[in-house]
Amino acid sequence: MRKDLGVKAAVFPMPVLMIATYDENGVVDVMNAAWGTVSDRDKVSLVLSESHKTVKNIKINKAFTVSLADVKNIKEADFFGMASGNTMPDKFEKSGMTAVRSGRVNAPIIDEFPVTMECELAEIVSTDNAYFIVGRILNTSVREDIIDENGDVDIRKAGILTFNQFNRSYYLTGEKAATAWDAGKELMG
């Protein structure tokens, strides 16, 4: 049995991405964005409204960082989705978080978030239906406390958040269900 829900954006869970930029005066701006994903091994694509302060900053600096929000910083991550840089220019300062300048792009790294991709603007794609920011990932840095004994990111230690659009709630990632390219082997024949 199935139930119709009408038109819903039903891809979930969504990432909880923190997009960080500098404005024209070097002031840090961070926004919470769920509409984004990696779109190639070295690319990240964000679907944003052109009116965001963050988008204006990306156009100025041709750079941004994308961090994965974590449960330790859920209050700040949610705040970055509620407050607009267009109307609250000191929102980053109000968060109490720490920004350090990326050594690769003209954008801040928010030190508290566990995983950060440093990106240069590759292109902006504007259509009648969407506005895409495509960034070329120049580096990904992670907090050392989330690295496992093999040198990989331990998602359980990272406490990465996801977003469920159906009930507007954050969820924690971390439980392994299967190994990719292994779970379906028996169906390969």
- Dist. CA 122–CA 100, nearest whole Å: 23
* Residue 26 pLDDT greater than 90, yes or no: yes
- Going by pLDDT thresholds of 50, 70 and 90, the confidence category of residue 134 is very high
* Residue 30 pLDDT greater than 90, yes or no: yes
Rounded to an integer, the average pLDDT of 103-108 is 98
- Going by pLDDT thresholds of 50, 70 and 90, the confidence category of residue 13 is confident
Q: Which two tokens stand for residue 63?
A: 């750079």
Domains of the chain: 14-188 (2.30.110.10)
Strand duo 169-172 + 161-164: pairing = antiparallel
What integer pLDDT is reported at residue 29 of this predicted model? 97
- Dist. CA 103–CA 54, nearest whole Å: 20
Percent of the chain scored above 70 by pLDDT?
Answer: 100
Rounded to an integer, the average pLDDT of 109-135 is 97
pTM of whole model > 0.85? yes
Q: Which residue has the tokens 């409204």?
A: 49
Of 7-11, 106-110, 162-166, the least confident: 7-11
